[in-house]
Amino acid sequence: MRATRSITIDAPSADVWPWLVQLGTGKAGWYSYDALDNLGRASATEVLDEWQHVTPGDPAAPMNPFAPVSSSPWKVELADPPRALLWHNRDAGTWVWVLRPQPDGRTRLISRIRISYASASGLAFAPILELADFPMYRRMLLGVKQRAEARSGQLPA
């Protein structure tokens, strides 16, 4: 599966970045439908300092909501604040977020996920991922947008 999604955020990239690096189960949540993807725990509405410093090799958020972050097969491959964040799972694929500053001070957030269904468990998971991807992903991007815009308060002059 390959999916590219994007959204324009009325905030500079520096105000979007903190929400991306703390994204995921066991961290700040997915900013999506918490009852479905965060075991009913509310996603954070504030920047959490403990998740703000990421370096290559750090564990990214696990997709399994019962697993601790430290056990995630997803690892940070690239952290280039406030421009790009790349997660990699050698058995599954990649997930990247790119922040593109716009001339008017806003940010274009582009996210691309590439997942392989090569394993039997991947094939079993495929229908769920394919059906849930669009509404969940859309809601996640809107959640990042809402939080970054609230934190920014206004566009730079």
Indicate which CATH number applies to the domain containing 88: 3.30.530
Of the pLDDT bands very low, low, confident and very high (cuts 50, 70, 90), residue 91 is: confident
Of the pLDDT bands very low, low, confident and very high (cuts 50, 70, 90), residue 110 is: very high
Mean pLDDT of 71-87: 96
* pLDDT on residue 56: 97
Residue 95 has pLDDT above 70, yes or no: yes
Q: Which amino acid is at 88?
A: H
Q: Taking each helix axis from N to C terminus, what angle separates 120-152 and 13-21, rounded to the nearest 10 degrees?
A: 140
| Tokens read off for 35 | 């009852």
**Spatial separation of the C-alpha atoms in residues 93 and 66, rounded to whole Å:** 21
Examine residue 27 and state whether it is found in any structural domain, yes or no: yes
Neighbours of 43 (CB within 10 A): 21
Strand partners, 8: 108
Supply the mean pLDDT for the chain. Answer: 87
* pLDDT on residue 42: 92
* pLDDT on residue 156: 43
Structural domain of 20: 2-152
Examine residue 113 and state whether it is found in any structural domain, yes or no: yes
* pLDDT on residue 4: 93
| Tokens read off for 62 | 């696990």
The tally of domains found in the chain comes to 1
Examine residue 11 and state whether it is found in any structural domain, yes or no: yes
Examine residue 30 and state whether it is found in any structural domain, yes or no: yes
Examine residue 157 and state whether it is found in any structural domain, yes or no: no
* pLDDT on residue 155: 43
